[in-house]
Structure 1
Amino acid sequence: MSVSTRGASSLRVLMTADAVGGVWQYALDVAEGLRAYGVETTLAVFGPAPSNDQIKRAKAAAIDLITTDLPLDWTAERPREVEEAGRAIARISAQIKPDIVHLNSPALAASGQHDCPIVAVCHSCVATWWEAVRGGSLPEEFVWRANLMHQGYHVADKLLAPTAAFANATARTYNLAAAPAVVRNGRRVMPAGEPVSRDIFAFTAGRLWDDGKNFVTIDRSAERLSFPVLAAGPLKGPNGTQVEARHAISLGRLSDDDIARYLSAQPIFVSVAKYEPFGLAALEAAQAGCALILSDIPTFRELWDGEAVFVAPDDDQALAQAIEHLAADEATRRQMGEAAKKRAAAYSVEAMSAGVLETYRSLLPSRFELISLKGAAA
């Protein structure tokens, strides 16, 4: 473990993350954004180890990494694994003595004791996922996970969520006295790079194996199209779940730079997720000026209403028609891409980091007053 020396007026944060999906991108972006405010972040990684390109990206952002080799809460096989992971993060906290513990997996708060405030971010959870994707009573293997999440939510000093829709769903599901505060996710604008040399195509990206992403509908729609649908992301997840690409063209997992090359060609971006608390892939596509076709779910409506085409999540025929319509109308496609890009500017790393910092400030008013005084004296 490498830990940088704390400056006289800096704030130290211990943050958790995983290298599997959007939480990794969120953690790196918010940590890098907070550096502008003198915040030093140590990132404790759970689940599979980061790839070489992910490690390179973290080093470039001057973020200290700790690989824990501990399971993710949603891949653990029994409660004690998550509880031990919570105690492990508490031991790391006792060692580096942060001012704030920032948990991107709130269940870790259920068993660990910390000597500083805990900020927990409601990125997703099995209970809200099940409600959106399956419906009905939770299966037994999800009940204990939801219970640990419930405990973590009530232990944390402050809860954040990336959209109001998901904040309200979380409050309802876990019987919270108040909904989590909303700090919308941001994403650094990826360098465009050299665009891929292709004619018109549709594009999707994410954890394709996750049923919540509903890749099967995109794959079915691809059979109806006169041009290809390219899909970036793994088809098999760390929990053993997998999906097939029968008609779409699977690109596998791509680095940020490679995804940027595809988005630079301004394809029609498609996501018909049934469960998407925010949707960083849609944001990346919008930043690149892509026209968006999205599932008509509350979070996407909240973020992109008026700037995207919306379709019912399971209607592959309507999806194919929407894609073909945009493909045949270049003027509308470009107009929609510009509108999405303009909306995306509101979901910046700077805005996200400022919102997270304000949360820290609310929990450490005396510490921030001291930092301000030191800064003024300097």
Structure 2
Amino acid sequence: MDALQAETRFSHGFRFGGSVHVLVTADSLSGSWTYARELVTGLVTRGVRVTLVSFGQIPLPDQTSWMDHLHGLDYRPTAFRLEWMQEAEEDLPESSAFLVTLIKELRPDILHLNHFCYGNLPVDVPRVVMAHGDLVTWTHAVHDRAPRPARAFDWYRRTVLNGLMSADAVVAPSAWMLECISSCYARPRRSEVIYPGRNPIFFNPYVSKDDCVLAVGRLVDASKQVFLLTQQQHPLPVCIVGAEHTVPLPRIPIRADVRVAIEETSVAIRGPQTDAQWHALARSRFLPLRDCCQ
């Protein structure tokens, strides 16, 4: 199953085609951008009219190049703060008003929201909220406790809960995530697990591979535990892709490339990559981390 099923299951009887209009929200600061790219591309290529509204910050040209050949996509970038950002409470009324005005102007058939906070918009349009993750379930999973009491967290919890309870349907990328959302907030009135995926056209399984390990993720996120890769020697070279200078310096040398002789095993740390750079890195042979850390 893929993200497109969110629309096919919860579209209130609509049939795909030029007459259907989906408004999608996303942000370029998290994994929801890749998710939105796959969803939007799939919808547009199937003849669906799509309006994509992004939040958080204006994306860089490299982040929007995939839109160049998507005829029928209406892209509206904004810099409104995301619900998990500091001072997001100040931006939410304005960003919500912006979305409501846009929805009344464009009159989409369905909203696919990659943010909880817009699940309770005062509009008469079916709303699908995608539960990628949130601060409360993250704290429970990483620190095994609830977030410490704070006014900002109280506002955040209420905002997420209101969005979840007002949505016509909530989609989660895994059964675990859906259960976490249900236990930390409340069980949505209608929910579904739909696993995200990537278009296989981006990956060529027949090119030659290098024996190395490629780790990808937000390095500042403690739940990724990327620092474990820097704590010992490995039988294969390791490349970590993410923001620079966000993990403790390893005891072994850091190199700038992936190709490292096994006798001189080291860890390479790279910053954000363009699509072309990703395609080059994808030539590496991905191995389970447990096999390389024992």
TM-score range, shorter chain: 0.7 to 0.9
Shift of 1:9: 4.0
| Distance of aligned partners of 1:86 and 1:15 in 2 relative to their CA distance in 1, 3 Å threshold | same
Q: Among 243, 250, 256, which residue is 2:247 paired with?
A: 243
8 Å CA contact 2:169–2:190 kept in 1: the answer is no
Q: Among 56, 66, 80, which residue is 2:90 paired with?
A: 80
Separation in 1, partners of 2:233, 2:107: 56
Amino acid at match of 1:161: A
8 Å CA contact 1:76–1:82 kept in 2: the answer is no
Q: Among 33, 36, 50, which residue is 1:27 paired with?
A: 36
Amino acid at match of 1:183: I
Shift of 1:31: 1.3
For residues 51-89 of structure 1, the C-alpha deviation after alignment (integer angstroms, 9 at most, x for no partner) is 212211122334322111111111132523233322222
User: 1:69-218 residue pairs with structure 2 within 5 A?
Assistant: 69-110=79-120, 112-139=121-148, 140=150, 141-176=152-187, 178=189, 180-189=191-200, 190-192=202-204, 200-218=211-229
Shift of 1:114: 1.7
Segments of structure 2 that go 5 or more residues without pairing to the other structure are 1-15, 253-266
Shift of 1:17: 0.5
| Distance of aligned partners of 1:97 and 1:216 in 2 relative to their CA distance in 1, 3 Å threshold | same
Shift of 1:132: 0.5
Q: Among 57, 74, 82, which residue is 2:66 paired with?
A: 57
Shift of 1:244: 4.0
Shift of 1:225: 1.6
8 Å CA contact 2:83–2:156 kept in 1: the answer is yes
Identity across matched positions, percent: 25
3-state secondary structure, aligned to 2:270: strand
User: 1:306-325 residue pairs with structure 2 within 5 A?
Assistant: 319=290, 322-323=291-292
| Distance of aligned partners of 1:39 and 1:201 in 2 relative to their CA distance in 1, 3 Å threshold | same
Corresponding position of 1:283: none
For residues 216-254 of structure 1, the C-alpha deviation after alignment (integer angstroms, 9 at most, x for no partner) is 12222xx32244210112247xxxxx4345353111101
Separation in 2, partners of 1:12, 1:165: 31
| Distance of aligned partners of 1:77 and 1:324 in 2 relative to their CA distance in 1, 3 Å threshold | closer
Segments of structure 1 that go 5 or more residues without pairing to the other structure are 1-6, 237-241, 269-291, 294-318, 326-378
Separation in 2, partners of 1:64, 1:106: 22
Corresponding position of 1:330: none
| Distance of aligned partners of 1:159 and 1:324 in 2 relative to their CA distance in 1, 3 Å threshold | closer
Corresponding position of 1:262: 281
User: Between Structure 1 and Structure 2, which shows a larger proportion of helix residues?
Assistant: 1
For residues 179-236 of structure 1, the C-alpha deviation after alignment (integer angstroms, 9 at most, x for no partner) is 6211211211214499798x5221111212222222112222xx32244210112247
Separation in 2, partners of 1:87, 1:196: 51
Corresponding position of 1:253: 272
User: 1:314-353 residue pairs with structure 2 within 5 A?
Assistant: 319=290, 322-323=291-292
Superposition RMSD in Å: 2.6
